[in-house]
Amino acid sequence: MTDSSDSDSASARVAFLRGLRAVRQLRPDPLPESVLHDILEVARWSGSAGNRQPWEFVVVRDRDMLRRLSAIDGANAGHLATAAAGIAIAIHPEFPTSTRMTKAV
């Protein structure tokens, strides 16, 4: 049996997610440091298999670099040209310990 408050809370979350829209026309206004911190904090807590979190986040605020990144062929990142900041995710390749090649010295 589910509690009605749990059901209401789940319904509210589903309604919120259904209402999200991808914005591709961004304002160049400076992004407050506290907002960027909150975004990175949420990203940092994102789950991964085995909680390995094999990534690093790179914040890009340099206007010229954002324009250059927006022009990368096939990246579908034209919106970065007008963004106040961009966050690149660098993924580390994962090599399970059991398949690593070790060299005897």
At 97 the pLDDT is 54
Instruction: Give CA–CA dist 89/91, Å, rounded.
Output: 6
Q: What angle do CA 33, 67, 87 make, to 5 degrees?
A: 40
List, for the chain, all residue ranges whose pLDDT scores fall below the cut of 70. Answer: 1-5, 24, 94-105
Per-residue pLDDT at 96 = 58
CATH of domain 26-93: 3.40.109.10
Is the distance from CB of 83 to CB of 66 less than 8 angstroms? yes
**pTM check: above 0.75:** no
pLDDT digits (tens, 9 = 90+) for 36-57: 999 999 888 887 777 777 888 9
Domain coordinates in residue numbering, the chain = 26-93
Q: Which pLDDT score is estimated for 4?
A: 64
pLDDT at residue 105, as a whole number: 43
Structure tokens at 93: 């390749």
Burial class, 93, CB count within 10 angstroms (exposed 0-12 / middle 13-18 / buried 19+)? exposed
